[in-house]
Each structure stands twice: as structure tokens, then as C-alpha cells.
Structure 1
């Protein structure tokens, strides 16, 4: 639940904020809500102003606000945080209001917003409102468009949300370190016209990546390519919330990318259309059906679809190494190598060691000692056994009869009889494979290479 912390009770802090804005109404700063839970919080419905259908954030929450005259006021606190990636692994990150990424900021097209930013980091910072069209002095680029926010100080940003859509916030101050430490969040600006492309369920999350050596807690902020933790809202499977959806709902999923590479995001069981980017809404005439959408670095993609196919549907990045946890990339490829004798010798020297890669499978069932504060590469189980996934993976669970705001995990899908793949009895002797003699020519027949022994190669 939300706990409230008033970081700024002193006259010095209040004067600092007023000096930035020059406006009398900025001399009282709203409290800064803090979130301690790592599970998806219920949608935050507006209590004043235009009505809208709020979003829900995977493993996250929406930042509460207060009205001060015509201004909608928020309070972000940049600070060190501890984030659990999944049960068994925590990381020391930087974020906002107790979590990394920070809370989602929800507003309405045309809102005048005032966002107080208090810096509790050990170094200066700023906040850039990625994709939002605003005055240059509110853009948040330290040294260029504003002074850096020193530690212990509060600055305030004021601008109008001129356009609806999906946006992000992140620092433009020592950003290589600060974004690598997890400082980021999402912004959703709802259309003032509630009839504009309405949906029943609206999910949002942001993608981040980290290199955290097993047994350690701190990301290596200078890494550019060799990451081992690929996260959605700084969570990895099986720690990522499922997306609970009512059968027949119109669904929108908004995904931001602040990692160092692109991500082809794939949904099973449905096709969808990209409806919005951080540049604005995609005209309906320009949309086409997809099952995978590639999200470049520093971009947002929102896609819409109708949940008309019940079941448990995988939802993941289609780069295979991005669906693994604590992935090491210096492992020898030993698939197809018989290591029986090697395993015996290795077992005597290192009883806890495990020889991997003979068949290349069953990694989700492996049990072997690990350093503290790390995760298996593949983990998580379903009703039929190990799922053998990690990282950027979760499940969209489409069910009939869910209540409007019920986002709880509905449990495993109950498949109708006869709709699950099953084993058949294999014949004792495999039927001969047919060769079409009409298409077989001398040019297609394999010829032994000079010096090659072809004995024993039948069937290869």
C-alpha cells in the first residue's frame, strides 16, 4: 500500500522550489507517496477533472496527485532503492518514490501539470519528459535547458499536456549511470474525448537491462552490450505479473524501451495492430495486423487487440537470450558431445559441478548450487511442467467472466477436453521415407569428399 513521506518540511526546501518557478502557488509541496509492494496495484480512478479509464502497470502503480487550482500536482523523489527482480534476487538500484522504475504518471490531454522533483541521490540529476511537447526550459536536459538538481534540492516542472499518448520520463544528467541504475518511468496522457479509441483494459510497462554478476547486488553501469538481466518494470519471469484479461475485452498494451537494444515483442494466440508510438497515435488507415512488433531503443509502442481467444498465452521478447535470467555468454557449445567420461572425472574434482549441453534441453529442471542473490537461467513452472523461460516473459490469461477491475491471477487455464496436444504411440518400426525419383538428379545426390569415410553415415 501507499505510505506518505513528507521529505520537505523546512523553509529552505520550500524556498528552493519557489525560486525555480517564481510562482507563489508553488510554495507548498505535496507529499511524496511511496510504494513498497512489487505487484500490480489496482487502477487509480480520477476523483476530479475529466473521466478516463486508467491504466495498470505491471509490477507497479500510478502516482497519486492533488489539484491546486487549475494545476494537477505530482511529487517525484529520485532516490536509491532496493528492487526484487524475482524471488531470490534483489538489486541496489536508483529510482523514484521507493521503486525502480518509478510510478506511472497519468494525466489528461489539456491538463496543466506541476511536477515537483526532489533529489535524494548522491549526485545531481534532472528529469526529461520523453515525447512530451513542452517549453524548452522544462525539457530537463541538465546544463542545456536547466541547471542540474543538486542533492537535497527540489525543482518543479510546469507545462501543459498538449497531446494524448504514451510517453516516458528519465534523467538527462549523468544519464549513462542513472538510466543504467534504473531511473525511468512511463507517462500516459489520456484523450480528453473519452470516446477516442476506448479500451477495456490498458496495461503499461517499461523495459530495462542490467549486468549484475551472480552473488552481487549492483549493476555494472559501464556495460553496453553484454547484459544478463532483461527486465519488464525491473522484474524478470517468474516474477513478472500475468496480464489478466476478460474474454471479449478490447485490450491495449503500452511498452517503453530504455534498454541498449531493440526488442521484438510477441503475443501468442492473437494478432494486434500498433496504435500509438511516443510520437503520437497511428491513424487507423495506417495500421496492419501483427503478432510481433519491434520496439527500438528509446521508443514506445502501444498495440490494441480484442481478446477473443481464451487460454494462457505466452507474451515475451522474441530474442531468445532475453527470456533467460543471469545468462552467461562464455559457455562452450557442447551439444552433441558425449561427456559421460568427462562428467565422471569432473564429479570427483568438483562434486557440485554439472556438465551442461549434451542434449541442450531440460534446463528448467536443473537443480544445482548457485551463489547468493542470483537466479537460474530458466525457471518457473506451469500446469504441465517447467516453462523454461526467464527475463522478458509473462503470460496473458484470458478468461470468461472476470470482473471489470479484477486483475488477479486466475490460475492455470482449464482446457476444454480434446484441446491439448498429446502423445501418440510410436510404431515399432519407422515407415520408410519416400524419395521422389523424378526430382532426384545427379546434381542433388551427395558425393563423398576426398578422404571422407562414408561408413556409418546413413540416416545423418
Structure 2
């Protein structure tokens, strides 16, 4: 993590929002350092140095924004600015974000804290920050033209309010929202319970679901796209370059998932069932929790679930919409399953010797072939496991449960070695009789009779 001194708007020209209905210009306002992140790797959790204790969150491929204390107030500094984000190895996107990165840094505080958040605008147009799901004064809500004027380019505003409830919240602009959110401006805001004994966990992971429409070979998202996004991301990152969720066996684990895309996402985790324990509206009472193996995350919402890490292994976690686990999706590609393309292939190779026919037997071969691609894009399916191509992309990662990890160890432990007798294998012996439907009509289950009504 690098630090840089904020150089914009700290003198008499800086405008600051200091109450719900009053605007003032400040003189010699001392801003906290604007922390900057230039790596796409998951950063270690930021443990509290003052106040109540809590288990800090781990943001996949992200980080937590440092704060300073000023007369009992937690001060933080967000800088809205153009950023370059490595979405996967070999592909960089030109986005808008905060403090050098999209998604922006995670903000962590404690229920009852008073926070003062300086927001400096380095974008070419005005912006704001809406604190999604939080209870606060109307003038701090961040809706341009309604809550307060937009933050002009080059200016710094201050948002100041008390954190009256714990939970998982989000932040994003409510200014030219279609453009600014499509360009990657969003982040998460975690408010930990004041009582460390309330809802404790050993590991706490954070995922922001976001999506972009970026043509292969280009760098800037299309901001007018409504449904046909081609890159489905976790924290502006694509598999196989989304970091794993590393867990010590027997840990109590929480996974918080926020959704600021334009569609819902059914997040499915293999190997476990879990309980939904929190929404962006608050904590779910124990008697109201329900068991799941998949949880649908609505648009503009958050869900958190918890489980006890009993089972060692490498367990997939992904969106269950199949196109959302693919990269650089093309929506106008014809289906060639069952088509004999041998004559066509021979003719095309006369002009283009490198031509590779694909799709006649499905698309799995795309995970293994290394086809020539335009600059600055990623394969539709990529990523390798211990037994070959994983054939996934986009919203996909792995929960890696291991025994004996230190409480602060989040490093990738490598691939799990399945104990003898616990892995599927090829069978070459005699097979049982095969039952098969003989026609396409609906049949009556054997042993059942119909009664007339």
C-alpha cells in the first residue's frame, strides 16, 4: 500500500459539507492521507488499533481504507478518480474508481462511531457518494440535487454522521449514476457490532458483484449497456485471477456478497450448506434464519451467510447463471453442435492456416486451446486445476479449507490432495442393467394408480 498527500482543494477554495443544512468554506483544512492501492491482490485484513475489537473483513482482490482519529472522530479520505484495473492477467480496463482502484477500498468502522469522510473529486464531471442502506441525516445521503449539490471537479466535500446500526452496506455515486457506476464506482462499508460477542466469526470475506461491457481489444466500458454485459466480475476481477477464500478447518466463516449489477446472481457454494445471517437491512434473528446452498443476491442488495468449516477440500463458489462464469461472452455466436465443419475448415485454412474449428461437440475445448486473441482481452474459459482445465471464468472462485492454518494466514495453500478412496475414478468392470425411457410421452410412476376426480 502506498500513501500520497492529497494535493487538491485543501485551502480556502475547498467546499465542505459540515451539517445537514449548512455549507461552509474552510481554511487550512487538514485532510487525512489518501491511501492508494496499485495491486490487484487481496490485502491482509486491517485489525483495529483503537476502540472495540472486531474480526476485520478480507476483501477479495481488495483492501480496507485506513483511518485516523481526530478528537474521537474517525476520519477517512476517498478520492474519486480515473483508474486502471487489471481485471485478469493480460487485460486492463480503464475505469473510474476510488483511491487507485475499482472497486473502491472497503470502509470499516464500529457501531456508534462518528465518521468524517472527505471525498475529493478528480473526475471530469461532478460526483457524490451515496451510503447505500445506512441510517443518516438527509443532507448526507449523497443524492445530487436532492441531498446536496454535486461535488465539482477538483473540490472536496465532507460527509459526517454517526453509525447507528451494524451490518453490511455499500457506497456508490448518485450523480450521473448510469455512467459512473458502469465505469466501476462502488465499494463496501462494513459496520461491526459494538459488542464483540455479537455474531463473532473467525474469518469474514467480502465480495462485490459488478459487471462491464468491454469489447475484446478495447479498454473502456460501454456505459449505455442495459443487459448484454460480457464481463461478470467479483470486485472488478475475473476468474482465474479471483483470489481463493482461504479458511482454516473448524473456523466459523462469514461471506458477505453485495450486488450492484443490473441482474440478480444466485451464488452457490459447493461442499457446504449455510445459514443466511444478514441482509443490508440488518441481522437475521436466529429463529428466522434459513438453510441454503445457493442464495440469490437481488439487484442493489446484500446477503451474508455463515458456515462452520468442517470439511477440508477445494470447494467451488460461483454464480449459478452459466453465462456469468464465462469471460468475454459473445451473444451472437451461432451454435454448431452436431455440424460437420470438415469441408469448411479445409477451405478456411487455405486462407487462414491457424483457423481452429470449435463448437461442433460443445465448448469445453475452449478451456484447453490457446487460441490467438486480440490484445487486452481474456479467453472465454480459462484457468487450470490439478486435473486439467477448470472451464470457468467470470464469477468463480474456490473456498480452500485446510487444517492447521494460523488465524492470520490467508495465503493460497495450493491444490487439495484428495485422500485415497475419496476421488471419482474410471470404472472398467461390469455395469448394472441400464434403464432408459423408450418414448417421449409422460409415463406413470410404477406402482402408482390414478383415481378419477
Asked if residue 81 in structure 1 is aligned to residue 95 in structure 2, the reply is no
Query: Conserved in 2, the CA contact under 8 Å of 1:17 and 1:27?
Result: no
Q: CA deviation at 1:22?
A: 4.7
Q: CA deviation at 1:288?
A: 1.2
Q: CA deviation at 1:25?
A: 10
Match of 1:386 in 2: 389
Q: CA deviation at 1:230?
A: 0.3
Classify the secondary structure of the residue corresponding to 1:341.
helix
Q: Deviations over 1:243-291 (max 9, x none)?
A: 0000000000001100110000000000011111111111111111100
**2: CA distance between counterparts of 1:234 and 1:426?**
48
- Provide closer, same or farther for how the CA distance between residues 440 and 293 of structure 1 changes in structure 2, counting only shifts above 3 A: closer
Asked if residue 72 in structure 1 is aligned to residue 74 in structure 2, the reply is yes
Q: CA deviation at 1:440?
A: 9.8
**2: CA distance between counterparts of 1:161 and 1:443?**
59
**After the TM superposition, which residues 218-233 of structure 1 pair with which residues of structure 2 at under 5 Å, given as runs?**
218-233=220-235
Classify the secondary structure of the residue corresponding to 1:27.
coil
Q: Which consecutive unaligned segments of at least 5 residues does structure 1 have?
A: 445-460
**2: CA distance between counterparts of 1:371 and 1:113?**
46
- Provide closer, same or farther for how the CA distance between residues 410 and 441 of structure 1 changes in structure 2, counting only shifts above 3 A: closer
Query: Conserved in 2, the CA contact under 8 Å of 1:35 and 1:98?
Result: yes
Match of 1:453 in 2: none
Query: Conserved in 1, the CA contact under 8 Å of 2:14 and 2:26?
Result: no
Query: TM-score, structure 2 length as denominator?
Result: 0.93
Match of 2:12 in 1: 12
Q: Name which of structure 1's ranges 43-52 and 211-220 shifts more when overlaid on structure 2.
A: 43-52
Number of residue pairs aligned between Structure 1 and Structure 2: 441
Query: Conserved in 2, the CA contact under 8 Å of 1:5 and 1:34?
Result: no
Match of 1:27 in 2: 29
Query: Conserved in 2, the CA contact under 8 Å of 1:18 and 1:27?
Result: no
Q: Name which of structure 1's ranges 373-382 and 47-56 shifts more when overlaid on structure 2.
A: 47-56
Q: Deviations over 1:272-318 (max 9, x none)?
A: 11111111111111111100000011000110011111000000000
- For the aligned residues, what is the CA RMSD? 2.3
Query: Conserved in 2, the CA contact under 8 Å of 1:246 and 1:400?
Result: yes
**2: CA distance between counterparts of 1:189 and 1:435?**
56
Match of 2:260 in 1: 258
Q: Name which of structure 1's ranges 403-412 and 348-357 shifts more when overlaid on structure 2.
A: 348-357
Q: CA deviation at 1:342?
A: 1.8
Query: TM-score, structure 1 length as denominator?
Result: 0.92
**1: CA distance between counterparts of 2:441 and 2:39?**
68
Q: Which has the greater radius of gyration? A: 1
Q: CA deviation at 1:418?
A: 1.4
Match of 1:421 in 2: 424
- Provide closer, same or farther for how the CA distance between residues 347 and 400 of structure 1 changes in structure 2, counting only shifts above 3 A: same
**1: CA distance between counterparts of 2:367 and 2:352?**
22
Query: Conserved in 2, the CA contact under 8 Å of 1:7 and 1:31?
Result: no
**After the TM superposition, which residues 158-169 of structure 1 pair with which residues of structure 2 at under 5 Å, given as runs?**
158-169=160-171
Q: Name which of structure 1's ranges 387-396 and 343-352 shifts more when overlaid on structure 2.
A: 343-352
Match of 1:447 in 2: none
Q: CA deviation at 1:7?
A: 2.5
- Provide closer, same or farther for how the CA distance between residues 26 and 197 of structure 1 changes in structure 2, counting only shifts above 3 A: farther
**2: CA distance between counterparts of 1:327 and 1:441?**
34
Asked if residue 373 in structure 1 is aligned to residue 390 in structure 2, the reply is no
Classify the secondary structure of the residue corresponding to 1:152.
coil
Classify the secondary structure of the residue corresponding to 2:152.
coil
- Provide closer, same or farther for how the CA distance between residues 443 and 302 of structure 1 changes in structure 2, counting only shifts above 3 A: closer
Classify the secondary structure of the residue corresponding to 2:303.
strand
**2: CA distance between counterparts of 1:250 and 1:305?**
6
Match of 2:325 in 1: 323
Q: CA deviation at 1:415?
A: 1.2
- Provide closer, same or farther for how the CA distance between residues 26 and 64 of structure 1 changes in structure 2, counting only shifts above 3 A: farther
- Provide closer, same or farther for how the CA distance between residues 433 and 316 of structure 1 changes in structure 2, counting only shifts above 3 A: closer
**2: CA distance between counterparts of 1:443 and 1:91?**
51
- Provide closer, same or farther for how the CA distance between residues 170 and 420 of structure 1 changes in structure 2, counting only shifts above 3 A: same
Q: Deviations over 1:98-157 (max 9, x none)?
A: 000100000100100100000000000000000000000000000011000000000000
Q: Deviations over 1:407-458 (max 9, x none)?
A: 000000021111111111266xx8764679xx999997xxxxxxxxxxxxxx
Q: Name which of structure 1's ranges 42-51 and 396-405 shifts more when overlaid on structure 2.
A: 42-51
- Provide closer, same or farther for how the CA distance between residues 180 and 431 of structure 1 changes in structure 2, counting only shifts above 3 A: same
Match of 2:282 in 1: 280
- Provide closer, same or farther for how the CA distance between residues 22 and 111 of structure 1 changes in structure 2, counting only shifts above 3 A: farther
Match of 1:458 in 2: none
Classify the secondary structure of the residue corresponding to 1:342.
helix
Q: CA deviation at 1:356?
A: 1.5
Q: Which consecutive unaligned segments of at least 5 residues does structure 2 have?
A: 444-453
**1: CA distance between counterparts of 2:8 and 2:17?**
10
Segments ≥4 residues shifted beyond 3 Å = 12-26, 430-436, 439-444
**1: CA distance between counterparts of 2:100 and 2:217?**
23
Query: Conserved in 2, the CA contact under 8 Å of 1:13 and 1:154?
Result: no
Q: Name which of structure 1's ranges 367-376 and 342-351 shifts more when overlaid on structure 2.
A: 342-351
**2: CA distance between counterparts of 1:38 and 1:181?**
17
Match of 1:362 in 2: 365
Match of 1:199 in 2: 201
